[in-house]
Structure 1
Amino acid sequence: MDQAVTLSRRQFTSQISGSLPEQPELILVMDLDGTLLGGTVNQRRRLYHWLENRRERVLQIFCTGRDRASVRGLLAGDNGLAPPTPHLVISDVGCTVACGSSLETVPIAVDPIEAQWQAVRPRLDGCLQGLAGLSPQLRNVERRYSFNYEPRVFDASILQSLERLGVDCLLSDEQYLDVLPAGVNKGSTLLNLLALLDLPHGRVVTSGDTLNDLAMFQTGLNGVMVGNAEAKLRALHPELPNTYLAEAHGCAGIAEGLRHFGLDCPG
């Protein structure tokens, strides 16, 4: 490991509470809604138990469109059966990186995204106000704008002109619109995180179910598209050679994919 990489890893780990596995045998990156939170109660319990027992061997990363407040509520058990606390969280569709236990942001990973967002945000003022079929999400999102949209009403052609202002516009699950700093997404933030921590790409498995997970699958890392993935994402599966399309849904789909990649995971 060269000196620059050693320094970046040291700086990163100094900015989080708790510790990360030194030499993880697996780096498991999991979307939440429809993926880690999907499947039957028994399927979820089995995978959560498996993860909890492998905290020293499996580096666990949530990669979600949720904001940190929503993730905090989930881990507190506000919505029933809660998954184990991850080591790290990529939230806001890639715009935030946080420590899993404290959910405090990690400056070395977040500051460049924040600077990019602050540069582009003034250009967006008023651009998406009052548009038919579009309503802001009442959430504490960071470094992005987030909306619900009605596909039969909202005119998505406006997004092309919006992207010329220096943002990417991401439609997913036939109901969500995220306006992100250009080039920032789940995949780009994950790759940057792996570089900061000098983690081997060959030990990574990603998982997801909607179009906001596509960027993870396009990294070339091994991935699991769970069986309940939205139709528009499933249609792109032939273009994603390192992504396994599971038959099972949610947690069971993650477990099926891990077995496909040669890992011992419960059914």
Structure 2
Amino acid sequence: MPSPRQQLQQQLSVSLPQHPELVLVTDLDGTLLGGATPARRGFYRWLAQQRERVLHVFCTGRDLTSIARVLQADEPIGLAAPHLVIGDVGCTVACGASLLPVPLAVDPIEARWRGLPQRLLPLLEAQPGLSPQPVHSSRRLAYMVDLEQFDHGLIPQLEAHGVDCLISDSQYFDVLPAGVNKGSTLLSLLRWLEVDPATVVTAGDSLNDLAMFETGLNGVMVGNAEPDLVAQLPRLPSVYQARGEGCAGIAEGLRHFGFAHLWD
């Protein structure tokens, strides 16, 4: 019987680093895609040079179609595909090269989501302050939200059906299978990878990254993080608040956690 790591590798179209010195888990918008262009270009170049030493994971609210557009748009300044992708706020795991979903990770989430949309959509239809996002996911519901119009009493009604509701960046409203988020999916992925947690650093900027920071793994909150996320810092002892924005903040955090040697 293959181990979970072997099963994971069999379901990917690329090989993973066998013994990575760093597992870098980055949000996209405002984090890996944030900051000044020179800092981004330099950081992307460094990532490309460290493919065998640094296992890179996107951990984003974007769906796979949107991630593909990001990689195409940022190709001129050097952003390469990661080894792995956690998308849809934790509801999708895919190979970074092909962006094909990984059944080992996706199938259990799919099972938890099955039948929920039919119960949830009647509650969400015509709700003031909500407009559907044009995403392509079968394991979450995603909306833009106007917090002044939105009826917050709707949240407990939805969650009674076995989902979690998440508002982030004061504009995004996600409905996810209960217990599924960026943090829970990341922890499952790390168990399958059989990596040392001390080699893992996460990075993010918005409230949908809070679940990553709540794992207890080393984390970098970049300098442009949203105020509601910054307010959580006192209860996140493993998270470093960077001054630099976007990629500059990630690099600052990696130095803080002792990975400066990877720049040698």
TM-score, scaled relative to structure 1: 0.95
Alpha-carbon contact 2:20-2:52 (below 8 Å) kept: yes
Distance (Å, rounded) in 1 between the aligned partners of 2:149 and 2:175: 18
The residue matched to 1:13 in structure 2 has which SS? Answer: helix
Q: CA RMSD in A?
A: 1.4
* Residue range with higher mean Cα deviation, 74-83 or 53-62: 74-83
Displacement, 1:122?
2.5
Distance (Å, rounded) in 1 between the aligned partners of 2:69 and 2:159: 33
Q: Which residue of 2 aligns with 1:23?
A: 19
1:91 aligns with 2:82: no
Q: Which residue of 2 aligns with 1:59?
A: 55
Distance (Å, rounded) in 1 between the aligned partners of 2:237 and 2:169: 22
Aligned length: 262
1:177 aligns with 2:148: no
Aligned match of 1:210 in 200, 206, 212? Answer: 206
Stretches of structure 1 lacking an aligned partner (at least 5 in a row):
none
Distance (Å, rounded) in 2 between the aligned partners of 1:125 and 1:211: 24
Alpha-carbon contact 2:41-2:78 (below 8 Å) kept: no
- Amino acid across the alignment from 1:221: L
The residue matched to 1:141 in structure 2 has which SS? Answer: coil
Alpha-carbon contact 1:76-1:82 (below 8 Å) kept: no
Distance (Å, rounded) in 1 between the aligned partners of 2:71 and 2:258: 29
Q: Which residue of 2 aligns with 1:248?
A: 244
1:157 aligns with 2:145: no
Q: Which residue of 2 aligns with 1:102?
A: 98
> After the TM superposition, which parts of structure 1 deviate over 4 Å for at least 4 consecutive aligned residues?
none
What whole-Å deviation, never above 9, does each CA across 1:23-67 have from its counterpart, x for those lacking one? 000000000000000000000011101100000000000000000
Distance (Å, rounded) in 1 between the aligned partners of 2:221 and 2:171: 19
Alpha-carbon contact 2:145-2:172 (below 8 Å) kept: yes
Q: Which residue of 2 aligns with 1:141?
A: 137
- Amino acid across the alignment from 2:218: N
Q: Which residue of 1 aligns with 2:229?
A: 233
Q: Which residue of 2 aligns with 1:263?
A: 259
Distance (Å, rounded) in 2 between the aligned partners of 1:174 and 1:142: 24
Distance (Å, rounded) in 1 between the aligned partners of 2:70 and 2:213: 25
The residue matched to 2:85 in structure 1 has which SS? Answer: strand
Q: Which residue of 1 aligns with 2:164?
A: 168
Alpha-carbon contact 2:25-2:201 (below 8 Å) kept: yes
- Amino acid across the alignment from 2:150: F
Alpha-carbon contact 1:168-1:179 (below 8 Å) kept: yes
Distance (Å, rounded) in 2 between the aligned partners of 1:148 and 1:63: 20
Q: Which residue of 2 aligns with 1:188?
A: 184
Alpha-carbon contact 1:39-1:251 (below 8 Å) kept: yes
What whole-Å deviation, never above 9, does each CA across 1:122-155 have from its counterpart, x for those lacking one? 3213110101111000121230000000111111
Aligned match of 1:45 in 38, 41, 48? Answer: 41
Stretches of structure 2 lacking an aligned partner (at least 5 in a row):
none
Identical residues among aligned pairs (%): 57
Alpha-carbon contact 2:85-2:99 (below 8 Å) kept: yes
